[in-house]
């Protein structure tokens, strides 16, 4: 699929769509696809990826005076885990249209799917990791050492 077609279409759907459209975009993988675009070499693709994320943040992250569990504009479900994830991603970007490391965006993309399912085996570990720091460190692979030293047979 051509990201120069899909990313603007996703951004437009988030801008004019209903809460149901937003939920479909998030659970369907469109948001994870957009996060991956922020690691693209092409400035144009990164710009499109950031545009989608900007539209998504309006729906997912609550206003500063709203409680964390309230979700963003018009979203009826509790996305507090996604709120923490996207605030950490947003706060780790140091310059406009910065090219993010592939390891970080891959972690965020996969974490979206995990945080949508509280019964997932990694849900608690990812939530704890995100609450530990207010931003994602670009110099490290997120959760690498925690998972390697966990002693668990599967993760």
Tell me the chain's radius of gyration from C-alpha atoms. 15
Mean pLDDT in consecutive groups of 10 residues from the start of the chain, 155 residues: 91 84 86 95 96 88 55 59 91 94 94 91 90 86 69 58
Interatomic CA distance for residues 88 and 66, integer angstroms: 18
pLDDT tens sequence across 24-41: 888 899 999 999 999 999
Full-model pTM = 0.83
| C-alpha–C-alpha distance, residues 132 and 41, integer Å | 30
**C-alpha to C-alpha distance for 100 and 40, rounded to whole angstroms:** 8
Nearest to 105 by CA among 49, 27, 22: 49
């Amino acid at each position: 699929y051509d990201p120069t077609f899909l990313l603007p279409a996703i951004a437009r759907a988030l801008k004019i769509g209903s809460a149901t459209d937003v939920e479909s975009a998030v659970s369907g993988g469109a948001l994870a696809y957009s996060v991956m675009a922020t690691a693209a070499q092409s400035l144009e693709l990164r710009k499109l990826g950031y545009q989608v994320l900007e539209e998504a943040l309006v729906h997912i992250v609550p206003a500063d005076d709203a409680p964390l569990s309230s979700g963003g504009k018009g979203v009826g479900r509790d996305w507090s885990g996604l709120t923490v994830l996207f605030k950490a991603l947003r706060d780790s970007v140091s310059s406009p249209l910065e090219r993010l490391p592939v390891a970080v965006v891959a972690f965020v993309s996969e974490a979206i799917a995990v945080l949508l399912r509280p019964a997932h085996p990694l849900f608690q570990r990812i939530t704890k990791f995100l609450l530990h720091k207010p931003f994602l460190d670009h110099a490290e692979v997120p959760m690498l050492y925690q998972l390697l030293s966990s002693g668990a047979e599967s993760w």
